[in-house]
Structure 1
């Protein structure tokens, strides 16, 4: 996991001339940037909606091609830069460009918990952690290990999980009903549905799996309609009821 800070310069992100080697050894050498380190890994951006425009443009280019091209100070370098983009931010502080937002596969919205029992449990666990962090970690270590084993098993099972034609058609109908641009919506729905089936130990992904991952996969891909009175989640749930239900009956 590579962290891309908001104040990062373009040279630090893409890479540049290794100044130290140039001064000490008198040679032109390339100093890899964050994109090189993130290859085949995760690139995490905190407050991604506050990222400077020129870095957003750069990330869009690299995410599209999977290759980082650096041509400056007499250096011409190309290297692979395929990474999973992970970001967090407060939408009230600013919007993210739709082109970049579309690069995120899943979108989770954090809301305030209204259930009183859950709020009480959160406070209890936080107080327990503050009192003794080591004991708290040991208390939940067995649960963490159980989850890790389940994830590793799902990763091994993933290549053998079948995405049924019914699930594919359900994903396509859902994206058409919601006017989703491009095909990343269907691709994300398919990948998430297969991953869910693998995690739950099933051999195939069905339309019901598409329905379960629809909100996470499509919420951030919806076109903004000023005349729409219902929220994004409600729009997706309504479309799921109309399309996935129709697919199941067919």
Structure 2
């Protein structure tokens, strides 16, 4: 009898990806501070969106979980524990812990609501009085990354569910008077091709950041990208080995940024100017102000600083605000340019 060995599929190294700095920065900042609210990546077909998103998970340190828990519950943080784990801890039971890689969950376009949220076995509940929960993709993605390719083609009500869970950090499933809830804290990453349709503005606004990706035009750069991809396809482990040192350096830089994030401060004057920029751009609500503040702090932490400076805000402001602007059908100027122009006026 032949034994098939389990092998981990090689992941293209994040540090080997050429160009697309805007997308890479947005992903890194969301890994440093998941409360930024995820990232929407819109761009042409074949520009490496999926490759980059799958590569980012490889840079994150393993997480500690309660062993065999369906929801990747944290051993000490109550906000990241399922109700069952909290109950077991209150009863003084000893629970085994384990380390796993950060979950990276793909949500297929044809997924049903039960597949996404999970479902309750009503028959078992009625006959045996046992609440049996079949976890969905939100449970598997807890404390990890949930990736939706072609998010602009996903049913609006499913996008709504994803955004609600990502914002609240909890998923609740209710059927026939039976209710089960579990933690669902994840970084939501969506990608899509604008030619296939845009997301509704109400949904788009709830993504923390928005990166726009363009096809590389420079022939030399295109050749470099093709060669790198061919090398990885033929000898993946050689390619991974070549970038190992850069990967480790970036991994440590992200880990260090996470450690100091809570100590980073942003002066009142800079916060006032961020809100002034949002006001002059006529951004609805306060989500733009909040996300810009968070992202600026994450960028400062990424650069090892405890204070936000103007350059930090400049680097992230377009990513945080371009998708929150009211669209004018007669406006020909690019949204990123508008944000940048107002930023320069306010910050002089």
Report if TM-score (shorter chain) is over 0.5: yes
| 1:156 aligned residue | 259
| 1:167 aligned residue | 270
| 2:248 aligned residue | 145
| 1:206 aligned residue | 309
Shift of the 19–178 alpha-carbon distance from structure 1 to 2, 3 Å rule, reads same
3-state SS of the aligned residue for 1:107? strand
CA contact (8 A) 1:44 1:87 kept: yes
What's the C-alpha RMSD, in Å, of the aligned pairs? 2.3
Q: Deviations 1:133-166 (Å, cap 9, x if unpaired)?
A: 2211111111111111111111112111111112
Which aligned segments of 4 or more residues in structure 1 are displaced greater than 6 angstroms?
22-26
- Asked if 1:41 is matched to 2:144, the reply is yes
CA contact (8 A) 2:172 2:182 kept: yes
Q: Distance in 1 between matches of 2:131 and 2:257?
A: 46
| 1:189 aligned residue | 292
Q: How many residues align?
A: 245
Structure 1 segment 7-156 matched on structure 2, within 5 A: 7-18=110-121, 27-156=130-259
Q: Distance in 2 between matches of 1:133 and 1:82?
A: 32
Q: Distance in 2 between matches of 1:242 and 1:26?
A: 65
Which ranges of structure 2 fall in alignment gaps of 5 or more residues? 1-103
Q: Distance in 2 between matches of 1:175 and 1:82?
A: 27
3-state SS of the aligned residue for 1:181? coil
Higher relative contact order structure (alpha carbons within 8 Å, sequence separation ≥ 6): 2
3-state SS of the aligned residue for 2:244? helix
Shift of 1:180: 0.8
CA contact (8 A) 2:288 2:320 kept: yes
Q: Distance in 2 between matches of 1:132 and 1:56?
A: 38
| 2:340 aligned residue | 237
Which ranges of structure 1 fall in alignment gaps of 5 or more residues? 246-250
| 2:96 aligned residue | none
3-state SS of the aligned residue for 1:103? coil
Shift of the 118–158 alpha-carbon distance from structure 1 to 2, 3 Å rule, reads same
Q: Distance in 2 between matches of 1:158 and 1:148?
A: 15
Q: Deviations 1:182-236 (Å, cap 9, x if unpaired)?
A: 1111111111111111111122002321121111111111110122221112111
